[in-house]
Amino acid sequence: MSAPSVAQVDDALDELVNQFSDPLSFLRELVQNAIDAGSHEVEITTSFEPKGEAGTAVVAVSDWGGGMSREIIETKLTRLFSSQKDGDRTKIGKFGIGFVSVFAIGPEVVCVDTARDGEAWRVLFDEKRAFRLLRLDEPIEGTTIRVYKSMSAQEFSGFELAVRKTVTYWCKHAVCDIRVDGHPIAVPFTYSNPCSVEHDDGYSRIAASHPAGADTFLGLYNGGLTLVELGKSPHPGILVRAWSPHLEHTLTRDAVIEDEGHARVMEAIADTVHGPLAMRAFETLETELQNTIPSPWRNHLHACVRWHVENGLRPRTRDAVADRTVALTPTGRRLSFGRLLKGVEDDTVFATRIRGPLSDAVEAAGKTVAHAGILAEDGALLRSLGRFGAGFAFDVLESHWALPLPLRDASEHAALDPLAEATRSVFAEAGHKVSEVRFGHFDYPGSSLAAQVAVSQADPFSLTPLQDLKTLGRGFFARSRPVIVNADHPATQALGPLAQRDLPLAAYMLAKLFFVGSGLTPRIDGELAVAAHELEAP
């Protein structure tokens, strides 16, 4: 086989020089070389040497690894380049491909100082990529590569920032200590918010987290160096970093090779998200619900658990979190995930933010009441549990149940009983089956009746569904029911003084108020007025 021509070598070298979309990506390649050489730290510096109207920017990458011997320099580092001495351009090979990228920024000079086996060497590349090899008299440690590029002072300001940005992007999770102009660029591989996990299965190291916002992130790394970072993944709304030696990038470094290793890592990510991360979400929510004072993370933790409910829980994970608390009742009793999945009475979980006589009575009746807001994150979680697993409805407690409370003492009875009896007589004379009229208190924390003037019940002061509160019978076969009047309502309180002056009129107005907004007709109004007139007749 004939050797490649000079033109072929030139073309191949040009492609390698410009293999990356960002010319500064050569910094990542030099860091990778330093890590491969066994260095535990890499120092990158930028400086500017003014000269006339312009000047020269210098970016240096230093490591303390094994360095290079003359043999390595000649057979690997410079194999793609021509020597200024012999002009040989036919030695093309696989080595030094990453180093070649230093020429993407169009430098005037590239200087490599390195030492190994007691010998120190300097390799100087000119702007045409031809090199000279020189022996150094002074001993050095490791390798330092300096790249010289002409530019103005203004251009250097942007260049300096771009260097730091590039190194941080590609090398922030590297296994060695990396500094740019004296500043460490390391970023923790793991996430710090409460609902985060790190999992290592011996094949991949994975960090996963529920972000405080709705961001999605997938970062893939090898040796801590960035292969690709994306704002999308198979797990929307989750942040994931995966580090594996089985991940490989394409030659242009803009994608990851989707081979068997990649598929295995992606499977490990799914296992982490739907396993350890899901269990962590339930665990942290349970711990948070034990706090008397909510932390700033409470809503977020409800949203984390909801994400896993809506995105499917694997059977093993479902079993593992069955006993975890996902909500509390107003009295502080825990509602576990497993209990809710087994079903609830009336197929409804009732939500309220306020513990009071009503919520206590509904709980005592065996209903499931959650201390939650219907539009809040804790309510959204319960709604999702009902929709995606347990099959229960989720609604506001106060829109289903009511509980009037009796008068508190004898003085209240003395003031209100005469009006109550007169109102009963008006109802009866008008043909309504009212067994008694009693006053009670409707306005208390968590009550659903504060706006009502009066209601009817089968049993006075019992827990009653809201839809049964306005039923009054008429006719021979209708059953009599008590009417309970809200002693706290402004309209009722205004009738007290009127009853002292004109009891029949006050009774008529109170009876009429019962029907306002729920079926008052001219006929009913007329019947009540006639009944009140009969009441005041001698």
Domain ranges, ordered by start, for the chain: 6-184, 188-315, 322-399, 405-536
Query: What is the pLDDT at residue 476?
Result: 55
Q: For residue 385, is pLDDT > 90?
A: yes
Return the percentage of the chain with pLDDT > 90, whole number: 70
Same fold, 6-184 and 405-536: no
Taking only Cα atoms into account, the Rg of the chain, rounded to an integer number of angstroms, comes to 40
Look up residue 250 and give its amino acid: T
Task: Say what the pLDDT of residue 274 is.
Answer: 97
- Kindly tell me if the per-residue pLDDT of 91 is higher than 50: no
pLDDT in tens, 31-76: 988 998 999 999 999 999 998 778 999 999 999 999 999 999 988 8
104-136 tens-digit pLDDT: 899 999 999 999 999 999 999 999 888 999 999
pLDDT at res. 470:
74
Cα distance between residue 457 and residue 515, in whole Å: 15
**Which of 418, 430, 420, 416 minimizes the C-alpha distance to 532?**
430
Write the pLDDT tens digit of every residue in 238-290.
999 999 999 988 766 778 889 999 999 999 999 999 999 999 999 999 999 99
Of 357, 369, 346, whose CA–CA distance to 449 is shortest? 357
In this prediction, residue 333 carries a pLDDT of 95
Say if CB 473 and CB 457 are below 8 A apart.
Answer: no
Report long-range pairs for 13-19 (Cβ below 8 Å, ≥24 apart). 13/80, 13/81, 13/100, 13/129, 16/80, 16/97, 16/100, 16/101, 17/100, 17/101, 17/103, 17/104, 17/129, 18/104, 19/97, 19/100, 19/101, 19/251, 19/252, 19/253
Asked whether residue 82 carries a pLDDT value surpassing 60, the answer given is: no
Tokens 């007749």 appear where? 537
Calculate mean pLDDT across residues 153-169: 95
Asked if residues 369 and 350 have their Cβ atoms less than 8 Å apart, the reply is yes
Residue % of the chain over a pLDDT of 70: 91
CATH-assigned architecture of domain 405-536: Up-down Bundle (1.20)
The CATH number that domain 6-184 falls under is: 3.30.565.10
Task: Tell me the DSSP string of 245-282.
Answer: TT--B-TTSSSB--SHHHHHHHHHHHHHIIIIIHHHHH
**Residue written as token pair 């405080």:** 212
Question: 199: which residues sit within 8 A by CB, 6+ positions away?
Answer: 205, 206, 208, 268, 272, 275, 276
Q: Which residue has the higher pLDDT, 207 or 128?
A: 207
pLDDT of residue 362: 96
CA atoms within 13 A on the CB side of 298: 16
* Average per-residue pLDDT for the chain: 89
